[in-house]
Chain A
């Protein structure tokens, strides 16, 4: 058989398997209640179509071995074949769920799933429709290879943005209402998703914008680069000022409910920044990071709460904070020392063990007199000058996030950060160049612990109670997933990761049920496809640019070209 066709069919079958998986875990059914385009397309119906599109894109693309690049009509036909195969599998799944009742095993394999897969059109019409739609989507996916690259990119960006904007409905609507722009809301949003006009508008605007940027962007960038340095500095200042004003006003803009979400995202940014020091900078995969979060929360609760079973004097939050940090750093050293000589994967499991030990100890009857056992500790006061409502608690979180980001950034470029870097790349070589790996590993654990415990302390004051159930392994996994999605070792990456992996599921009720499944897929997919993360660390590029900049400055001041150094150091 023709290898291209074989590939198209196999890819199509894989796509079908993906749809079967999504269907049987109940995701298609759960997403049925969220519209992408109101009254036209639900997210549940969109999922199989997107998968068919992706399958078509893969089927119509270039092939590596044997090396063949399908072109023009052939590529589109292959895409249609791939998408159509997926459609056939979907039909088979729908038919299966209507004829055989296996609901005692697979609770979601119900006739209602078939109805959803058939777009509610019944078996005959629905089957034809599914196959046709999937094949068309596949052809469209393959067509992205055929049309010029800039246009394909513009269409992709437009499509993804439109879907995301539709998904963000609860968020955007709340913001629009809060700042009094109901007109926009009525134009773009209907209950649960974008209106058709809104969807097309968003799509057209972003696609056109992307296209324009692709054509004219280079020019603009050059113009900015050509601006005199003092004007560039003013520009930067304006950007920073706008950013600062935005961050300060954020709770007022988004309203109370969303401030709650923003606060949670902030706590995870803190956790991510701390874990990033341990994992991203120093390369020590710590799976028990939740232990520091827990220690931070419990120490704060014990020291500040009037209801804590032990330790009577109630310190104010900022009075307790130094003790909390010292406690967590000590725990960090305690966890760090026994694992100093362990290699990466062992270290991961031992730290996982430490995390579990911490949780079990906090839960146990033995430690109850100190930390309250399963009853936890109640009435943890808010940090003094602020109330506990989400809009006020946002500010201490923001403060510590900025502090942590600045600290992490300066650490990364300091001598310590470079030592960590060397240690991460090759421990033996690092040691041979005179880096004391023991000290630097302990330093990473200690500082990571400090960041984690501040997050825990804020968490305790934010919700006002501390229960052992809040501190299971999933917190560690969550923090790990977000730094891996964003890009290990990079601060902007942590923020993006937290927004996507913590913010989105908090906003979308339908997602939260599949949150951990999505984390798992993110971890696997990122490692397979893009191990450096969405926003990879720019340190290397920055270093290169630094040299270019100094050379430029030198050329400007002296008016002569720099000669390349003969011996590079």
Chain B
């Protein structure tokens, strides 16, 4: 049908012009900023390191989105809240350990304990979420689980608010992680180093788990084809729960790492990181594990560099106010130009 095709082409043309002009504006802005030389090389480096640290947290959350999406083809909209519950748990565990004096006497064990509790609670929340809100709706029209997810997200947020109060709570200090270290020419704070190192360790463990264990193989099989996997004797329900549990564990870890970077917890803190991690997952190609990790890093760096690099050149006041706009614009642009993401399968979108 030639008529139809020409209409679609017109639409495509419009989208490409729209997206292309945004990209051109961004590139021109970067050029202007670099020409004006407002920030020194060291400052750029600091921003990039901060971006990598933030990005590795996004990557951990994004993995949860991607794993669930790979198996159920649904966006677990409440995943950001799972992350928030991890952060709150970490806060209480850290406060308890700090009061007991363990933070001073045995800081590494204390950190690992806090990490473990946060991961465990987030895992429980994720599994409960699957059981109550998603499992009864398997096979329902697409919008139905999405709406439940939004509802579940509100319930989790406001339960946390009711339980723990609506104020912002400051995190106790891991004195162990004060100061900064130098890795060759690069200088970063110890906290950033811990965040990046922990995130990389966890992601490597996840990769090994998915590729080398029986359960991991079952997960891959279910994500290829649920029905065939079931015929091969895989308990699909169990694999789905396992996937949510792993996503929860990763989100819990992300929770404590994020609070290490920003030092505070709040009941609404899951919303923005959740959306941005979703953006990261889409950027890397949703359903793709390595893509999510790389997408997280890319988005973290972009968010950290973006406002200064792309906007100051135009003389826009207080560009950091607009950093969330950059993240959302990335989402829109990716969906226009490469809806399958950079490493994703075409049929997913």
Chosen A-B contacts, 6 in total, with CB atoms closer than 8 Å, are A24-B162, A25-B159, A339-B335, A360-B322, A364-B318, A527-B148
Query: Apart from A345-B146, A364-B318, A523-B151, what 20 extra A-B contacts exist at CB < 8 Å?
Result: A25-B161, A104-B95, A107-B164, A337-B14, A348-B146, A349-B75, A349-B331, A353-B331, A354-B332, A360-B324, A365-B318, A516-B158, A517-B155, A521-B155, A523-B150, A523-B154, A524-B148, A524-B151, A525-B151, A527-B137
* A340, A521, A523: most-surrounded residue (chain B CB, <10 A): A523
Known A-B contacts A342-B335, A345-B74, A349-B278; the reply to A26 vs B162 at CB < 8 A is yes
Q: How far is the CA of A360 from the CA of B159 in the complex (A)?
A: 27
| Residues A108 and B162 in contact, CB atoms below 8 Å apart | yes
| Residues A514 and B158 in contact, CB atoms below 8 Å apart | yes
| Residues on the B chain within 8 Å of A24, using CB | 162-163
* A287, A345, A363: most-surrounded residue (chain B CB, <10 A): A345
| Residues on the B chain within 8 Å of A350, using CB | 331-332, 335
Q: Is B321 an interface residue (CB 8 A)?
A: yes
| Residues B335 and A338 in contact, CB atoms below 8 Å apart | yes
Q: Is A352 an interface residue (CB 8 A)?
A: yes
| Residues A343 and B142 in contact, CB atoms below 8 Å apart | yes
| Residues A344 and B142 in contact, CB atoms below 8 Å apart | yes
Q: Is A357 an interface residue (CB 8 A)?
A: yes
| Residues B144 and A527 in contact, CB atoms below 8 Å apart | yes
Query: In the complex, which residue of chain B has the Cβ closest to the Cβ of A513?
Result: B162
Interface residues of A in 65-91 (CB under 8 A from B): none
Interface size on B (CB < 8 Å)?
A: 59
Query: In the complex, which residue of chain B has the Cβ closest to the Cβ of A288?
Result: B328
Known A-B contacts A25-B163, A360-B325, A365-B318; the reply to A520 vs B75 at CB < 8 A is no
- List of 8 A-B pairs having minimum Cβ-Cβ separation, nearest first: A25-B162, A523-B151, A520-B154, A353-B328, A517-B158, A520-B155, A524-B151, A365-B318
- Chain B 150-175 near chain A by CB (<8 Å), digits 1 or 0: 11111111110111110000000000
Interface size on A (CB < 8 Å)?
A: 57
Known A-B contacts A343-B142, A349-B75; the reply to A360 vs B321 at CB < 8 A is yes
| Residues on the B chain within 8 Å of A438, using CB | 7-8, 11
| Residues B146 and A338 in contact, CB atoms below 8 Å apart | no
Q: Is B205 an interface residue (CB 8 A)?
A: no
| Residues B150 and A477 in contact, CB atoms below 8 Å apart | yes
Q: Is B184 an interface residue (CB 8 A)?
A: no
| Residues on the A chain within 8 Å of B75, using CB | 345-346, 348-349
Q: Is A444 an interface residue (CB 8 A)?
A: no
Query: In the complex, which residue of chain B has the Cβ closest to the Cβ of A366?
Result: B316
Q: How far is the CA of A256 from the CA of B209 in the complex (A)?
A: 65
Q: Is A238 an interface residue (CB 8 A)?
A: no
Q: Is A106 an interface residue (CB 8 A)?
A: yes
Interface residues of A in 333-375 (CB under 8 A from B): 337-346, 348-350, 352-354, 356-357, 360-361, 363-366, 368
Distance in angstroms from A13 CB to nearest chain B CB is 14
| Residues A365 and B331 in contact, CB atoms below 8 Å apart | no
Q: How far is the CA of A16 from the CA of B271 in the complex (A)?
A: 30
| Residues on the A chain within 8 Å of B15, using CB | 337-338
Q: Is B37 an interface residue (CB 8 A)?
A: no
Q: Is A307 an interface residue (CB 8 A)?
A: no
Query: In the complex, which residue of chain A has the Cβ closest to the Cβ of B154?
Result: A520
Query: In the complex, which residue of chain A has the Cβ closest to the Cβ of B144?
Result: A527
Known A-B contacts A527-B137, A527-B147; the reply to A517 vs B332 at CB < 8 A is no
Query: In the complex, which residue of chain B has the Cβ closest to the Cβ of A520?
Result: B154
Distance in angstroms from B290 CB to nearest chain A CB is 21
| Residues B331 and A516 in contact, CB atoms below 8 Å apart | no
Distance in angstroms from B164 CB to nearest chain A CB is 7
Q: How far is the CA of A340 from the CA of B336 in the complex (A)?
A: 10
Q: Is B102 an interface residue (CB 8 A)?
A: no
Q: Is A171 an interface residue (CB 8 A)?
A: no
| Residues on the B chain within 8 Å of A340, using CB | 11
Q: Is A255 an interface residue (CB 8 A)?
A: no
Interface residues of A in 95-120 (CB under 8 A from B): 104-108
Known A-B contacts A21-B159, A24-B162, A344-B143; the reply to A520 vs B335 at CB < 8 A is no
| Residues on the A chain within 8 Å of B18, using CB | 337-338
| Residues on the B chain within 8 Å of A523, using CB | 147-148, 150-151, 154
Q: Is A285 an interface residue (CB 8 A)?
A: yes
| Residues B92 and A357 in contact, CB atoms below 8 Å apart | no
Q: Is B186 an interface residue (CB 8 A)?
A: no
Q: How far is the CA of A477 from the CA of B150 in the complex (A)?
A: 8
| Residues A353 and B159 in contact, CB atoms below 8 Å apart | no
Q: Is B21 an interface residue (CB 8 A)?
A: no
| Residues B324 and A524 in contact, CB atoms below 8 Å apart | no
| Residues B335 and A477 in contact, CB atoms below 8 Å apart | no
| Residues on the A chain within 8 Å of B140, using CB | 527, 531
Q: How far is the CA of A385 from the CA of B146 in the complex (A)?
A: 44
Known A-B contacts A25-B162, A106-B164, A349-B278; the reply to A477 vs B154 at CB < 8 A is yes
Distance in angstroms from A69 CB to nearest chain B CB is 23
Q: Is B329 an interface residue (CB 8 A)?
A: yes
- Chain B 87-111 near chain A by CB (<8 Å), digits 1 or 0: 0000010010000000000000000
| Residues B164 and A105 in contact, CB atoms below 8 Å apart | yes
Query: In the complex, which residue of chain B has the Cβ closest to the Cβ of A30?
Result: B162
| Residues on the B chain within 8 Å of A567, using CB | none
Q: How far is the CA of A355 from the CA of B278 in the complex (A)?
A: 16
- Chain B 313-349 near chain A by CB (<8 Å), digits 1 or 0: 0001110011011001101100110010000000001
| Residues B349 and A343 in contact, CB atoms below 8 Å apart | yes
Q: How far is the CA of A360 from the CA of B77 in the complex (A)?
A: 21
| Residues on the B chain within 8 Å of A357, using CB | 324-325, 328-329
| Residues B163 and A524 in contact, CB atoms below 8 Å apart | no
Q: Is B275 an interface residue (CB 8 A)?
A: yes
Q: Which of A337, A346, A349 contacts B275 (CB 8 A)?
A: A349
Distance in angstroms from B195 CB to nearest chain A CB is 25
Distance in angstroms from B3 CB to nearest chain A CB is 10
Q: Is A484 an interface residue (CB 8 A)?
A: yes
| Residues A524 and B164 in contact, CB atoms below 8 Å apart | no
Distance in angstroms from B258 CB to nearest chain A CB is 19
Q: Is A519 an interface residue (CB 8 A)?
A: yes
Q: How far is the CA of A104 from the CA of B7 in the complex (A)?
A: 62
Q: Is A49 an interface residue (CB 8 A)?
A: no
Q: Is A27 an interface residue (CB 8 A)?
A: yes
Q: How far is the CA of A332 from the CA of B15 in the complex (A)?
A: 15
Distance in angstroms from A487 CB to nearest chain B CB is 13
| Residues on the A chain within 8 Å of B331, using CB | 349-350, 353
Q: How far is the CA of A287 from the CA of B149 in the complex (A)?
A: 13
| Residues on the B chain within 8 Å of A527, using CB | 137, 140, 144-145, 147-148, 151
| Residues A356 and B328 in contact, CB atoms below 8 Å apart | yes
| Residues on the A chain within 8 Å of B154, using CB | 477, 516-517, 519-520, 523
Q: Which of B133, B151, B159, B328 contacts A354 (CB 8 A)?
A: B328
| Residues B158 and A524 in contact, CB atoms below 8 Å apart | no
| Residues on the A chain within 8 Å of B152, using CB | 520, 524
* A25, A285, A353: most-surrounded residue (chain B CB, <10 A): A353
Distance in angstroms from A486 CB to nearest chain B CB is 14
Distance in angstroms from B251 CB to nearest chain A CB is 17
Distance in angstroms from B110 CB to nearest chain A CB is 18
Query: In the complex, which residue of chain B has the Cβ closest to the Cβ of A531?
Result: B144
Query: In the complex, which residue of chain A has the Cβ closest to the Cβ of B272?
Result: A356
Query: In the complex, which residue of chain A has the Cβ closest to the Cβ of B278?
Result: A349
Q: How far is the CA of A133 from the CA of B75 in the complex (A)?
A: 43
Interface residues of A in 511-548 (CB under 8 A from B): 514, 516-517, 519-525, 527-528, 531
| Residues A366 and B317 in contact, CB atoms below 8 Å apart | yes
Query: In the complex, which residue of chain A has the Cβ closest to the Cβ of B152?
Result: A524
Q: Is A283 an interface residue (CB 8 A)?
A: yes
Query: In the complex, which residue of chain B has the Cβ closest to the Cβ of A342?
Result: B335
Q: How far is the CA of A285 from the CA of B325 in the complex (A)?
A: 21
